[in-house]
Structure 1
Amino acid sequence: MFKKFLLIPLLLIETHQVISQSKKQISPEQIESKITDLMAKMTLDEKIGQLNQYSGDWEVTGPVTNKGNKLQDVKDGKIGSMLNIRGYEHTRALQEAAMQSRLKIPLLFGQDVIHGYRVTFPIPLAEAASWDMTAIQKSARVAATEASASGIHWTFAPMVDLSRDPRWGRVMEGAGEDPYLGSMIAKARVTGFQGEGLGHTDAVMACVKHFAAYGAAIGGRDYNSVDMSLQTLWQYYLPPFKAALDAGAATFMNSFNTLNGIPATGNSYLQRDILKGKWNFTGFVVSDWGSIGEMVPHGYAANNYEAADFAIHAGSDMDMESRSYINHLAALVHNGKVNIALIDDAVRRILRKKYELGLFDDPYRFSNAACEKKTLNKPEFQEAARDVARKSIVLLKNQNQLLPLAKQTKSIALIGPLVKAESDMKGFWSVEWQNQDHIVSLFEGMQKQAGNTKLVYAQGCDVTDTSKANFAEAIKAAQSADVVVMAVGERANMSGESKSRANIHLPGVQEDLIKAIQATGKPVIVLVMAGRPLVFNWTADHVPAIVYTWWLGSEGGNAIADVLYGKYNPSGKLPMTFPQTEGQIPVYYNYLNTGRPAQDNAVSNYSSGYIDLTKKPKYAFGYGLSYTTFEYSNLKLSQDSLHNSDQLKVSFTLKNTGKYAGEEVAQLYLRDVVAQPVRPVKELKDFQKVMLQPNESKTITFVINKDKLSFYNDNLDWVSQPGMFDLFIGSASDDVRLQKSFKLID
């Protein structure tokens, strides 16, 4: 019955006594009947208790507010869910307390399982750079398997916020700037978390966040306001949420920001009209930490009583840690401000998920010591993390084929503040914050594969140092070696929630250290470890080899060594545009043209550019190199025009023209040449990741239909308009290899 993870990576993972043990089968109609019977027995206070979520005392992900006696509240039926409670011991103890309540309604346990649980995978933005949906789904599948074995029912992921601003620290938690790529990743992660379906003991409920448009926070400042047209909202920011919903996401989380002057938590248009109305979402919505109460400092509500009124009317079902519902909903009902039907709807949505998880059949089915012990940190999970980490690495530059490292290299100098980084390698939002499990640093990963090569280490400086006092030691180490590998970037806690940065250049004197080492004349390879796109122009222009490694998780050092030594040919592509400087932000590939478009490489001359800088980014969306080369040729369209009901087949030949086997992400972009409203200069509409052996060719086919040619007009209707379309196929948004045009006929 047991299957090995590597043989069937996405469907079956050995866990919890048997593979993906499911609950007793019960029909949706039976669940609804049971909910109706239960709710008939519930008092108003017990109903409100189901809408109340508190954090545990062991860990906190936000400001602590009036803890009170939580254990007694559980026994009194005043809490429906808790977060930051993990491990079979803790979850079982609290579930036993819930079984002492009058109606014995089980608790839901939630946790921020963002990129792995015990085994940490690359940060989500790094995983997005893999453009590999199978790998991303595998990452979420392993995370769900481990988390559920520790008593967790619910993860507050995936974050599907589109963002065009790398100053925003939470870009590390998302999939970048593109709605199509973001939608594909949202689907993969929801499918990975929820597995074969709720009720299986290796599945956790996904929570899609943050609804909506949080990634467009003004100035890249976390928690800040968002102001955009509804057409922009629907065209770019909502599609990943809809993709996650279509994949079966169990829950949504609303966002901290205001959207056009209305806090998302109290926004009926978002939660009632779109999510629960137009999209027919049957799960429940949880607030972000304290966001109901935060409508008061927003200036939208006068107090928490009024905030609770706004939130329940807007469709926010569960209150995370603001205590607005538990303290004020009963009074709102008694005062005639809130109809009990609103509360009943929210309670029904939450109870439905508890039934679907099988918690009423067995409240402890996710809290088993033996299951937890044998499931966590399996070798096959570690190997999966290493595989995903390799696929997330992006090769930015490889002048004179300096990489991969030659096996006969006699000595390598490992220099920089992050060479021996361990806890940083896990990145922000790792669950096991205080866990001392082994994390593979770059230094250790290189040691394992160096063979007879001598490794020399010097730190040179720390990440934020302003002193160059230790440069001399690093220069001496570089001079003694044949090749230099440098590890620079951010600390893990410099990207993430509440980690917005106005200056996204390499911190401290790190780039000065790179200049000093480059001046030795030795071949230099720079690894950039970070949670966001950084600015490092001098390095980009002068250093022969640059590898963007992000933060790769538990197996990061091994994965980087695999790439440096050529055991894995890098295949990652950037999911976000890298600016030349902060003054270009926001900068993204799918922009709208203007009446006076500037040239990419020219400064402004009465055109839409800058007088002191080109508009061209440093690295474009979709960019990433390989140790081999690829040739695109023989582009064919099945027809030159199509009607709305037709499909247009696009085929071309992709050939590996180098000497290494490798994967290429072939990307399809389209442009609607004339449209009302105007359309972007290009939009990603499809891609394929293809493995080719040296000198191997494959015919790649894309299919274009009406949906790929449609967009939201000013009335928010999903339409297509007849006219000419430009088609681009290439290796990046700015590296078009093949191009043709076709016509859409009404």
Structure 2
Amino acid sequence: MTLEEKVGQMNQASVSIVGGFDVSFEELIEMLTDGRLSQGEFSKIMETAEQDYHEDEIRAGKIGSIMLQNAEKANELQKIALEESRLGIPLIIGLDVIHGFRTVFPIALAEACSFDNDLFLRTARMAARESRMEGINWHFAPMIDVSRDARWGRVSEGPGEDPYLVSEFARAKVKGLQGDTSNPANYVAACLKHFVAYGAAESGRDYNTTSMSNSLLHNVYLPPFKAAVEEGATTVMAAFNDLNGVPCTVNGKLLNEVLKERYGFDGFVVSDANGIRECVTHGSAEDEKAAGLQAARAGIDMDMGTSIFSNHLPQLVKSGELEEDILNQAVERILSVKMWLGLFDSPYVNTEDRMVTIPHEHRELAQEAAAKSIVLLKNNEHLLPLNKDQKISIIGELADKASEVVGAWSISWKEEDCVSVLNGLQQQSDKVRYFETGGLTEAINEDELQKAIDYGDIVIAVVGEQVSMSGEAASRANIGLPGQQQELLRMIKAAGKPVVAILMNGRPLALEWEAENLDALLETWHLGIEMGSAIADVVFGITNPSGKLSVSIPRVTGQCPVYYNHPSTGRPAGKSKFTSRYLDVDNDALYPFGFGLSYTEFAYSNLEVIEESHELLISVEVANIGSRNGEEVVQLYTRDKVASIVRPVKELKSYQRISLEAGSSHNVQFHLPKDQLGFYDNDGKYQLENGAFTIFVGGSSRECLSQDVHIQFSLH
């Protein structure tokens, strides 16, 4: 391979839109995901605009990857790469397929509320198969940033605040995307993002700086990446942010030493979009040439979208400033992934296999995922489930907007596939009526509101955020209900009617007033194409809600970041003024991690902990003492009571999702390896320290049975 051909493999291009709309495909995607473009407008542009697919550069061997979602064009470009370039190396074709392709599943923050590892795997596997039909063989997913600050818009894309849950999610997603290698049509390359600590952006402001101790990095933010690498992830994306002053794109300690050497990652690392160029703006490189040199040396194997590698690396090698072996290693990693994908043997897709409509089994999985992701937060006097004979008034602008169910970073959906909340409810009851009261983007229509009050025995208010209010570049300084939605709720509450709030949102919202004043709260997030159907099943009792929060819900914005597994402090919150507390609000979350109600009730008893040489055997009796069959997520937490560094007050170590018929009980058993009770110190070394631990088991991070034990790791 020539120098230029090697660098070509390290260059990812995106489709350029030329003519009257002079922006890149990448920016067009951003405009779609942040709401500046509708799905219809995006489709029209893509159908009518002149598009540059870089055919000449592919012919010349100057491009190794492209972003695309079109089967015919994918085949055409692969044919050029294979038959018209000198070396005949196929393209790896990538796209942001974050939570489903044509079949859109719940956003990751929602799906994680299911605590269902098998579900995580199955939705990823279906997304892989659907996208492969369009020539896509590389997903920029899963997004596995631990995120504790609800102000950050991209909290929607990841599975929440807990490193153990995020790690389990990461393993399952990698297995789902990559695991079925029986046929190239069944799997894609996963891409772990964003490496690392992007979810800790200061003040919750996207792309902002991050600073943290080494122990925090290794105990909270790195474990999901380590777990996913152990599962065989083939690619990793570097984060935009700097970490302790060094942009992750040029952070050789993270990319080379931690990821590639310590974790044994043998795939390739891609920059995030424009990430190399942004090192100049960061101030860590004086120009693009210096940024490219730093990135290549630090372990970036592929440049996403800037052409900086193409423009500068050949000359840097010729001048002796960059070792050619760095290029050789990068190209070897990239070619290994292409070979593993079967692209040399099966580069083309059969366009006759493309979906015209979504198959029934795909919709079934989408509805299952949506239903398991719903979290019942409040249900005064068992108001839910509702009777289909009751007259139900529906208010809230989001209720009738099918386009708002898909959530941030959904690209390949069609509005015709989407079931709105209103549509789902009306399919099950002819007593449901919708009233256009406004309140989100429009002023409150008091005449319509009065009609809703007059008609309904019960009012369902569908409130929350538009899709464009969460996701990338969508941080919010005030995370209460936007617009006049709380005023709308206050007005309906004052009328004396029972109020059920269905929350549609891409982040935890500050809900102190709503929790105190409304009769029932359903956290439904953005659930994907079957959102309306899943919500209707829960509202009318066909499905018993079983979701548990993957992230804490704050009382007020000023609590952020708020999370359950915070470190111990020397002055824990108490009645004394001189303790770690606020003067004007309680410290704890309004609804904690792991919380979620059911239409039945579960009771825990008989917690038992037995220490063996290599593990703890933990058992607890869980009984369904209500009148309905239901599912419960049994959660195991630990606390290291005395250690050489301050440890969290509680940490999730395992969970099991169980089904119990009304009146039945089950003895749930956990086998907890003792080596999972250690921690990383500030030198990044894993420590196992003898001493006192507390074992907790319960239905949330707050309500648990507990037992103290003294662990001797010398037995291990």
The one of 559, 562, 567 equivalent to 2:542 is 567
Residue 530 of structure 2 is aligned to residue 555 of structure 1? yes
Deviations 1:384-437 (A, max 9, x none): 00010000000000010001112332x11011111101111011111226x343
C-alpha distance 660-68 of structure 1, shift in aligned 2 (>3 A):
closer
C-alpha distance in 2, partners of 1:658/1:618? 25
The answer to whether the 8 A contact 1:116-1:431 is kept is no
C-alpha distance in 1, partners of 2:339/2:586? 57
SS of residue in 2 equivalent to 1:139: helix
C-alpha distance in 1, partners of 2:182/2:52? 32
Residue 311 of structure 2 is aligned to residue 311 of structure 1? no
Q: Which amino acid is the alignment partner of residue 371 of structure 1?
A: D
Instruction: State the Cα distance separating 1:96 from its structure 2 match.
Output: 1.9
C-alpha distance in 2, partners of 1:612/1:462? 28
Structure 1 residue aligned with 2:450: 475
Deviations 1:258-310 (A, max 9, x none): 01111101000111001110111110001000101110000000011000110
Instruction: State the Cα distance separating 1:165 from its structure 2 match.
Output: 0.5
Residue 325 of structure 2 is aligned to residue 341 of structure 1? yes
Instruction: State the Cα distance separating 1:353 from its structure 2 match.
Output: 1.1
Instruction: State the Cα distance separating 1:632 from its structure 2 match.
Output: 0.4
Residue 515 of structure 2 is aligned to residue 540 of structure 1? yes
C-alpha distance in 2, partners of 1:338/1:198? 40
Instruction: State the Cα distance separating 1:479 from its structure 2 match.
Output: 2.4
C-alpha distance in 2, partners of 1:311/1:646? 43
SS of residue in 2 equivalent to 1:589: coil
C-alpha distance 153-579 of structure 1, shift in aligned 2 (>3 A):
same
1:112-127 map, 5 Å: 112-127=96-111
The one of 411, 431, 439 equivalent to 1:454 is 431
Q: Which is worse superposed, 710-719 or 70-79?
A: 710-719
The answer to whether the 8 A contact 1:114-1:430 is kept is yes
1:407-426 map, 5 Å: 407-409=388-390, 411-426=391-406
Question: Structure 1-normalised TM-score?
Answer: 0.90
The answer to whether the 8 A contact 1:198-1:205 is kept is no
C-alpha distance in 2, partners of 1:727/1:207? 35
Structure 1 residue aligned with 2:372: 391
Structure 1 residue aligned with 2:562: 587
Q: Which amino acid is the alignment partner of residue 121 of structure 1?
A: F
The one of 405, 410, 421 equivalent to 1:442 is 421
Residue 76 of structure 2 is aligned to residue 93 of structure 1? yes
C-alpha distance in 2, partners of 1:63/1:339? 36
Residue 34 of structure 2 is aligned to residue 50 of structure 1? no
The one of 662, 679, 682 equivalent to 2:650 is 682
C-alpha distance in 1, partners of 2:157/2:6? 33
Instruction: State the Cα distance separating 1:475 from its structure 2 match.
Output: 2.7
C-alpha distance in 2, partners of 1:480/1:336? 79
SS of residue in 2 equivalent to 1:596: coil
Q: Which amino acid is the alignment partner of residue 743 of structure 1?
A: H
Structure 2 residue aligned with 1:617: 589
Q: Which is worse superposed, 136-145 or 53-62?
A: 53-62
The one of 542, 545, 551 equivalent to 1:576 is 551
Q: Which is worse superposed, 174-183 or 455-464?
A: 455-464
C-alpha distance in 1, partners of 2:501/2:28? 38
Q: Which is worse superposed, 421-430 or 155-164?
A: 421-430
1:729-744 map, 5 Å: 729-736=697-704, 738-744=705-711
Structure 2 residue aligned with 1:33: none
C-alpha distance 674-69 of structure 1, shift in aligned 2 (>3 A):
closer
The one of 625, 628, 631 equivalent to 2:603 is 631
The one of 58, 62, 66 equivalent to 2:27 is 62
Residue 198 of structure 2 is aligned to residue 214 of structure 1? yes
CA RMSD after TM alignment: 1.6
The one of 612, 617, 636 equivalent to 1:668 is 636
The one of 631, 641, 658 equivalent to 2:626 is 658
The answer to whether the 8 A contact 1:198-1:204 is kept is no
Structure 2 residue aligned with 1:503: 478
Q: Which amino acid is the alignment partner of residue 338 of structure 1?
A: L
Q: Which has the higher helix share?
A: 2
The answer to whether the 8 A contact 2:621-2:667 is kept is yes
C-alpha distance in 1, partners of 2:345/2:125? 24
Q: Which amino acid is the alignment partner of residue 211 of structure 2?
A: D
Once the two structures are aligned, what percentage of the paired residues are identical? 46
Structure 1 residue aligned with 2:43: none
Q: Which is worse superposed, 536-545 or 300-309?
A: 536-545
Over 6 Å off, 4+ runs: none
Deviations 1:65-95 (A, max 9, x none): 9x97712111111100001x11211111211
Q: Which amino acid is the alignment partner of residue 421 of structure 2?
A: L
C-alpha distance in 1, partners of 2:180/2:703? 39
Instruction: State the Cα distance separating 1:714 from its structure 2 match.
Output: 2.7
1:316-335 map, 5 Å: 316-335=300-319
The answer to whether the 8 A contact 2:403-2:415 is kept is no
1:143-162 map, 5 Å: 143-162=127-146
C-alpha distance in 2, partners of 1:597/1:175? 28
The answer to whether the 8 A contact 2:210-2:243 is kept is yes
SS of residue in 2 equivalent to 1:97: helix
Q: Which amino acid is the alignment partner of residue 60 of structure 1?
A: F
C-alpha distance in 2, partners of 1:542/1:317? 54
The one of 479, 489, 510 equivalent to 2:464 is 489
The answer to whether the 8 A contact 2:511-2:554 is kept is no
SS of residue in 2 equivalent to 1:129: helix
Q: Which is worse superposed, 385-394 or 100-109?
A: 100-109
Structure 2 residue aligned with 1:369: 351
Residue 390 of structure 2 is aligned to residue 431 of structure 1? no
Instruction: State the Cα distance separating 1:462 from its structure 2 match.
Output: 4.0
Q: Which amino acid is the alignment partner of residue 701 of structure 2?
A: S
Deviations 1:227-256 (A, max 9, x none): 111111001000000111111111000000
Number of aligned residue pairs: 686
C-alpha distance in 1, partners of 2:102/2:663? 41
Structure 1 residue aligned with 2:661: 693
SS of residue in 1 equivalent to 2:55: helix
C-alpha distance in 1, partners of 2:547/2:486? 24
The answer to whether the 8 A contact 2:616-2:674 is kept is no
Instruction: State the Cα distance separating 1:476 from its structure 2 match.
Output: 2.2
SS of residue in 1 equivalent to 2:397: coil
Residue 152 of structure 2 is aligned to residue 182 of structure 1? no
Question: Structure 2-normalised TM-score?
Answer: 0.94
Deviations 1:465-523 (A, max 9, x none): 4x33x033123212221111110000011100111111110001101101111122122
C-alpha distance in 1, partners of 2:586/2:107? 31
Residue 255 of structure 2 is aligned to residue 285 of structure 1? no
Structure 2 residue aligned with 1:708: 676
Q: Which amino acid is the alignment partner of residue 661 of structure 1?
A: N
C-alpha distance in 2, partners of 1:150/1:462? 40
C-alpha distance in 1, partners of 2:108/2:229? 19
Q: Which amino acid is the alignment partner of residue 365 of structure 2?
A: A
C-alpha distance 266-538 of structure 1, shift in aligned 2 (>3 A):
same
The answer to whether the 8 A contact 1:198-1:357 is kept is no
C-alpha distance in 1, partners of 2:60/2:220? 45
SS of residue in 1 equivalent to 2:532: helix
C-alpha distance in 2, partners of 1:131/1:108? 32
The answer to whether the 8 A contact 2:375-2:546 is kept is yes
C-alpha distance in 1, partners of 2:26/2:487? 36
The one of 207, 210, 231 equivalent to 1:223 is 207
C-alpha distance in 2, partners of 1:481/1:161? 43
Structure 2 residue aligned with 1:27: none
C-alpha distance in 1, partners of 2:595/2:610? 28
